[in-house]
């Protein structure tokens, strides 16, 4: 089985390759842009058959230069929600994806691609339906536009596609191999580094009607994201656009407390509750930044109804268990 993974040196792409390798699949064409050279670390320990720069891959793939490819995991994108260059965002996240879709349909290749919970933006309902899609930034819009294109291509009936097409609306993913993402890395990653550097972690204060640290997100562990991607690889008759989150909203306070207690446990120190951690100065609340006002989702929670209806019954880790596993990995 020959597989293509775009964004292969990125966070989700590299973890998908790791998951494929665990199954003994190594005939993998990795596609990325390694201008940021340190990203090579994400694939240095993985087994692949070839690497291509994204600037040459898409044209070659459209020409069927790689022979029979079973599936493309399309994780390559500009994922910086603060990026304001709309042309750059649309070229990378929409135009390239449209060309890849066309090539996949022509060659009989399955397409499993990264969408985003950012498509919902200012909505308070997270169901895969147009009336709930209100992106707050051009990143969210670029992802929504490709989802809309897929709906148009099949007249809202994904079963009409020649080969499987699946879009995953990722919620707040965290876990190993995200270290290159800078400001876009997960709050758990940043808090791990804050705790090591300053002996405390920082959270936003009151905003959007939520108390300090009480804004809620659907945090999903990377191992769960990989498991769902591979479930769809195993079920080629399943197509559509699906939320990929844990299905539970938890406050940022839960993440911070999980980080603090994991780091304390490493030193043999007792577990604290939130009040105790704050009183001890281990959690600090900072004013909400002006740059994010009006562009920030204070609450997200994936509705998993469609995912479950597809037959995928994967059970997701909660913040406490997922973050604790992650801290153990980061501490090695």
CB 14 within 8 A of CB 45: no
Which residues fall within 8 angstroms of residue 101, CB to CB, at 6 or more apart? 111, 149, 150, 153, 165
The CA distance from 88 to 95, in Å, is 10
Structure tokens given for 315? 């059970």
Q: Per the residue annotation, which of 58, 113, 120, 139 is the catalytic one?
A: 139
Q: Give the C-alpha distances (Å, rounded to integers) separating 228 from 55, 108, 319.
A: 29, 22, 18
**Residue 312: DSSP 8-state:** -
Does the active-site annotation cover 141?
A: no
Does the active-site annotation cover 181?
A: yes
The backbone torsions φ and ψ at residue 296, rounded to the nearest 5 degrees and listed phi first, read -120, 130
Residue 73, Cα to own-chain centre: how many angstroms?
13
The CA distance from 113 to 168, in Å, is 6
Q: Per the residue annotation, which of 2, 47, 54, 181 is the catalytic one?
A: 181
Which is it for strands 172-174 and 250-251: parallel, antiparallel or unpaired? unpaired
Would you please indicate which residues are annotated as catalytic (active-site) residues?
Answer: 139, 181
């Amino acid at each position: 089985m020959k597989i293509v993974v775009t964004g292969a040196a990125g966070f989700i792409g590299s973890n998908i390759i790791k998951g494929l390798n665990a199954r003994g699949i190594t005939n993998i064409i990795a596609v990325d842009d390694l201008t940021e050279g340190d990203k090579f670390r994400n694939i240095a320990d993985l087994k692949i058959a070839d690497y291509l720069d994204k600037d040459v891959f898409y044209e070659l793939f459209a020409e069927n230069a790689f022979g029979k490819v079973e599936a493309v995991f399309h994780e390559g994108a500009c994922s910086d929600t603060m990026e304001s260059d709309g042309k750059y965002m649309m070229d990378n996240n929409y135009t390239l994806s449209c060309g890849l879709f066309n090539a996949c349909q022509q060659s009989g290749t399955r397409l499993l691609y990264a969408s985003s919970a950012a498509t919902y933006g200012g909505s308070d309902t997270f169901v895969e339906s147009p009336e709930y899609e209100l992106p707050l930034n051009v990143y969210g819009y670029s992802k929504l536009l490709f989802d809309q294109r897929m709906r148009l291509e099949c007249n809202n009936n994904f079963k009409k596609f020649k080969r499987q097409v699946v879009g995953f609306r990722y919620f707040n993913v965290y876990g190993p191999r995200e270290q290159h993402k800078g400001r876009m890395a997960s709050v758990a990653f940043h808090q791990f580094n804050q705790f090591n550097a300053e002996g405390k972690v920082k959270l936003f204060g009151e905003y959007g009607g939520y108390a300090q640290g009480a804004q809620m997100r659907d945090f999903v562990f990377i191992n769960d994201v990989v498991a769902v991607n591979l479930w769809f690889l195993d079920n080629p008759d399943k197509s559509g656009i699906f939320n990929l989150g844990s299905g539970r909203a938890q406050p940022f306070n839960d993440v911070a407390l999980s980080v603090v207690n994991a780091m304390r446990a490493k030193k043999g120190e007792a577990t604290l509750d939130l009040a105790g951690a704050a009183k001890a100065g281990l959690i600090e609340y900072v004013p909400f930044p002006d740059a994010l006002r009006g562009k920030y989702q204070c609450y997200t929670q994936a509705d998993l109804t469609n995912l479950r209806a597809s037959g995928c019954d994967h059970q997701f880790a909660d913040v406490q268990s997922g973050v604790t596993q992650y801290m153990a990995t980061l501490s090695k």
